[in-house]
Amino acid sequence: MLNALATRRPAPSASRRAFLRGSAAAGGALVIGVRLELSGSPARAAGAPDFSKVPAQPNAFVRVAADDSVTVVIKHLDMGQGNTTGLATIVAEELDADWGQMRTAFAPADAALYNNLAFGPIQGTGGSTAVANSWIQLRKAGAAARAMLVAAAAAEWRVPAGEITVEKGVLRHARTGKEGRFGAFAAAAATQAVPENPTLKQPADFRLIGTRLPRLDSGIKTDGSAVYALDVRRPNQLTAVVARAPRFGARLASVDDKAARALPGVVDVVTIGSGVAVVAKDTWSAMKGREALRLTWDDAGAERQSSDQQVAAYKAMADRPGLVAAKRGDAAGAIKGAAKVLEAEFAFPYLAHAPMEPLNATIERAADGGYDIYAGSQFQTIEQAVAAGILGTTTDKVRITTLWAGGSFGRRATASADYIAEAAAILRATGGTRPIHLVWTREDDITGGYYRPAAYHRIRAGLDAKGAITGWEHTIVGKSIIIGTPLEAMIVKDGVDATTVEGAADTPYALPAYRFEVHNAREGVPVLWWRSVGHSHTAQAMEVFVDELAHAAGQDPVAYRLGLLQQAPRLSAALALAAEKAGWRGRAAAPGRGLGVAAHESFGSYVAMVADVSAEAGKVKVNRIVAAVDVGVAVNPDVIRAQVEGAVGFALSAVLRNRITFKDGEVQEKNFDAYEPTRMSEMPKVEVHIVPSTAAPTGIGEPGVPVLAPAIANAIFAATGQRLRSLPLDLGALRGV
């Protein structure tokens, strides 16, 4: 019988202290896809952050081998977004390599070499930053490696380096007729000096960037050989599952593990901060052992709210003045004097990420006294610090092998390194003699928190006699992702978490007067960034409400938006392209069938979508989506198309049905039967058009998500005249035509 008391959440204080140490020592700002400068004006300073001030580091990122392979060291997690292919393309371009010789390898955890330039001193992936922050860094690395290969060939051939050309992995000297492949010069090139400022190509000279290149991971992901973290099999490893409290904030009161210990295959039962871990010789035995545990929980500090109470509480908060996130002029006065006033409210539920590969990690003590973690690691630096704190060692003694991740959508990146902390705690509690393979079941995943925060928006706007907006008042209620985490001091300003208001308070629409207010809800449900973060709800509120204003003004929704976006040329161009390709018409094509449009900027990328929807009583079918995207230079156009297609498939189930609901503090949805992802028969045809650009590339992992819901909701209005505002769409209220 174990009797230890344990708090389910928040994360163990040891891990928090460790993280604070880690980040303080590193001493820089951590920005996770968060636009820090909410300037108070929608017409904020344009331009992406500058990631160009980096040295050429060919040795960190490029390995040319004697067998002629070129391996690009990938500092990011590839959770499906295709960044391994994208980052390899950037190197191959400047190296003038042949695509067939390119390989990738995930970088070790080493923030000194592999930090995300968008996150300051932290190695990690998120905010659609992989290509954006690596663009100049990897071009310099590729160009420097090329120069070193050329120098090696020049020395061997005794010709001037300037006379050597490189094409598709072959070095040539025309005058002497000499030629050789990269592999032949790999060893000699490694002894050459690293050029400090290698010349980068002009975009007109790109041969690979902008073309369709096969993904480098298609082979291993179609024959079962790709190794995900759940596939790690270390010698002598044990598998663990954890029994966690049914309510967030509950404390473990008592443990009776007698029956569990008696089961064949169960090796140990240990109490850790988040619950009780059953450690067994295989996954099934661990799961059976967990079922046999008899646990009681102390709910004194537990969250007991039900979802209807939460929504009512949010609405009540919105009645009171909130924190000001952005303002200009006298919005209330401008609305008071308007010819027409519109008002709308939007409610959004908690959402689980539900990546196909549930959370898991393997950890072991190595012979040298260090520790090895195998995971789909998304925040390597934080995970190192948290694990080191729990294991009583230093960060440099914690190695991480990053593996392919079966999705994430943000879930693998937490400030508490939650599941890594669990694995480390189990290893410690079991004495560290055998590797621990921690597995979350799907039920653990869906009920385990770290949800996209629930949100509530209330908007009022005034129109003048011509239909122009006079003022805009907007209140957002939601639980901050950042407040209460170690990141708070770095990211939250005057109580306003940018991730709550991004996409609204910084709207590119020209609003003569506005006021955006925030209320930070405080319920005890852990929340987290979910693919597109705040934009996952702000775009729905903004783009549906602007659509309503267009109709109230008697204007075409595309033309109305273009009128408001004269200072936002890239978003305008994406919108115009999507409308053109979709054969935009403002009116219903047939009874019950309509087109809807939405346009939104997120993570520095501009996306517009037109949805073609059939609607009848209680039912919606999305027939077709036409998207236009501006991501700057399109490094891999086909990967970009795939990300937008996938964003539609990912987001559609959140539009149609997904929600995490609470009853007396307990999550009601446990698995894919009640939290059902989009299925094949529901998938619309998706057509993606890319706006040509020579601007620095931005991300596309997330920006396809925000526009889907409003495009569909606006199409339903076009088809039926009915406004469905909240998500998931209340299809039960749909009367049909």
Partner 1 sequence: MQKLTVNGRTFEVDADPEMPLLWAIRDHLNLTGTKYGCGIAQCGACTIHLDGQPTRACQTRLGDVGAARITTIEGLQGPVAEAVRTAWRSLDVVQCGYCQSGQIMSAVGLLTENRKPTDADIDGAMDGNVCRCGTYQRIRAAIHDAARTLA
Q: Which is nearer to partner 1, 10 or 706 (CB)?
A: 706
**Strand, coil or helix: 461:** strand
Smallest separation (angstroms) from partner 1 to the CB of 406: 3
Q: Which of 97, 279, 317, 686 binds partner 1 (CB under 8 A)?
A: 686
Smallest separation (angstroms) from partner 1 to the CB of 520: 30
Smallest separation (angstroms) from partner 1 to the CB of 274: 21
Q: Which is nearer to partner 1, 257 or 645 (CB)?
A: 645
- Reported as type and span, the H/E element at residue 266 is strand 266-272
User: ∠ CA(269), CA(274), CA(280), 5° rounding?
Assistant: 25
Contact string (CB under 8 A) for partner 1, positions 387-406, x = contact = -----------------xxx
User: ∠ CA(731), CA(557), CA(728), 5° rounding?
Assistant: 20
Alpha helices in 158-217 (DSSP H): 182-190
Q: Which is nearer to partner 1, 407 or 594 (CB)?
A: 407
Stretch that binds partner 1, among 12-20, 129-137, 194-202, 348-356 (CB under 8 A): 348-356
Kindly give the pairing relationship between strand 436-439 and strand 238-244.
parallel
Smallest separation (angstroms) from partner 1 to the CB of 446: 9
Cα 263–chain centre separation: 40
**Strand, coil or helix: 563:** helix
Q: Which of residues 183-222 bind partner 1 (CB under 8 A)?
A: 214-215, 217-222
Distance separating alpha carbons of residues 458 and 448, to the nearest angstrom: 29
Give yes or no for a contact between 311 and 456, defined as CB atoms under 8 angstroms apart: yes
Give yes or no for a contact between 675 and 669, defined as CB atoms under 8 angstroms apart: yes
Stretch that binds partner 1, among 228-236, 301-309, 380-388, 392-400 (CB under 8 A): 228-236
User: ∠ CA(361), CA(364), CA(365), 5° rounding?
Assistant: 155
Provide the phi-psi class of 298: left if phi over 0, else alpha when psi is between -120 and 50, else beta.
Answer: beta
Distance separating alpha carbons of residues 370 and 401, to the nearest angstrom: 13
Q: Which is nearer to partner 1, 280 or 425 (CB)?
A: 280
* Contact status: 233 vs partner 1 (CB under 8 A): yes
Q: Which is nearer to partner 1, 45 or 680 (CB)?
A: 680
Phi (first) and psi of residue 618, to 5 degrees: 75, 5
* Contact status: 224 vs partner 1 (CB under 8 A): yes
Count residues near partner 1 (CB under 8 A): 64
Number of H helices, E strands in the chain: 20, 27
Neighbours of 354 (CB within 10 A): 22
Smallest separation (angstroms) from partner 1 to the CB of 717: 25
Q: Which is nearer to partner 1, 225 or 566 (CB)?
A: 225
Phi (first) and psi of residue 510, to 5 degrees: -75, 100
Q: Which of 189, 230, 338, 627 binds partner 1 (CB under 8 A)?
A: 230
* Contact status: 679 vs partner 1 (CB under 8 A): yes
Stretch that binds partner 1, among 129-137, 495-503, 647-655, 717-725 (CB under 8 A): 647-655
Q: Which is nearer to partner 1, 286 or 576 (CB)?
A: 286
Residue 295's DSSP bridge partners are 255
Distance separating alpha carbons of residues 734 and 737, to the nearest angstrom: 9
Neighbours of 44 (CB within 10 A): 14
Smallest separation (angstroms) from partner 1 to the CB of 450: 16
* Contact status: 632 vs partner 1 (CB under 8 A): no
Question: Which residue in this structure is represented by tokens 């659609």?
Answer: 128
DSSP state of 9: S
Contact string (CB under 8 A) for partner 1, positions 600-629, x = contact = ------------------------------
Provide the phi-psi class of 37: left if phi over 0, else alpha when psi is between -120 and 50, else beta.
Answer: beta
Q: Which is nearer to partner 1, 317 or 439 (CB)?
A: 439
- Reported as type and span, the H/E element at residue 689 is strand 685-690
* Contact status: 681 vs partner 1 (CB under 8 A): yes
SS3 content of the chain, % helix, strand, coil (to 5): 30, 25, 45
Distance separating alpha carbons of residues 176 and 204, to the nearest angstrom: 29
* Contact status: 367 vs partner 1 (CB under 8 A): no
* Contact status: 442 vs partner 1 (CB under 8 A): yes
Q: Which is nearer to partner 1, 191 or 218 (CB)?
A: 218
Distance separating alpha carbons of residues 387 and 417, to the nearest angstrom: 8
Smallest separation (angstroms) from partner 1 to the CB of 672: 4
* Contact status: 647 vs partner 1 (CB under 8 A): yes
Tokens of 119: 């996150």
* Contact status: 642 vs partner 1 (CB under 8 A): yes
Give yes or no for a contact between 575 and 558, defined as CB atoms under 8 angstroms apart: yes
DSSP state of 727: S
Give yes or no for a contact between 435 and 423, defined as CB atoms under 8 angstroms apart: no
Phi (first) and psi of residue 456, to 5 degrees: -140, 130
* Contact status: 441 vs partner 1 (CB under 8 A): yes
**Is the Cα dihedral 323, 325, 326, 331 positive or negative?**
negative
Give long-range contacts, CB 8 A cutoff, 24+ apart: 279-285.
279/238, 279/239, 279/240, 279/426, 279/430, 279/436, 280/238, 280/239, 280/240, 281/238, 281/239, 282/239, 283/239, 283/241, 283/439, 285/239
Q: Which of 424, 470, 614 is nearest to 18 (CA)?
A: 424
Amino acid at 414: T
Alpha helices in 2-129 (DSSP H): 13-26, 58-61, 83-95, 111-114
Q: Which is nearer to partner 1, 4 or 220 (CB)?
A: 220
* Contact status: 357 vs partner 1 (CB under 8 A): yes
Q: Which is nearer to partner 1, 67 or 673 (CB)?
A: 673
Q: Which is nearer to partner 1, 285 or 572 (CB)?
A: 285
Smallest separation (angstroms) from partner 1 to the CB of 212: 9
Q: Which is nearer to partner 1, 413 or 541 (CB)?
A: 413
* Contact status: 355 vs partner 1 (CB under 8 A): yes
In Å, how far are 509, 563, 571, 631, 637 from 567, measured between CA atoms? 8, 9, 9, 18, 27
Smallest separation (angstroms) from partner 1 to the CB of 62: 24
Smallest separation (angstroms) from partner 1 to the CB of 88: 14
Q: Which of 312, 672, 730, 733 binds partner 1 (CB under 8 A)?
A: 672
Q: Which of residues 266-285 bind partner 1 (CB under 8 A)?
A: 282-285
Q: Which is nearer to partner 1, 98 or 231 (CB)?
A: 231
Smallest separation (angstroms) from partner 1 to the CB of 524: 27
Q: Which is nearer to partner 1, 120 or 637 (CB)?
A: 637
Q: Which of 676, 722, 731, 737 binds partner 1 (CB under 8 A)?
A: 676
* Contact status: 231 vs partner 1 (CB under 8 A): yes
Smallest separation (angstroms) from partner 1 to the CB of 713: 19
Contact string (CB under 8 A) for partner 1, positions 77-106, x = contact = --xxxx------------------------
Smallest separation (angstroms) from partner 1 to the CB of 665: 24
Smallest separation (angstroms) from partner 1 to the CB of 410: 13
Judged by the rule CB under 8 A, the positions of this chain that interact with partner 1 are: 79-82, 214-215, 217-228, 230-231, 233, 239, 264-265, 282-285, 288, 354-358, 404-407, 409, 441-442, 638-639, 642-643, 645-650, 652, 671-673, 676-681, 683, 685-686
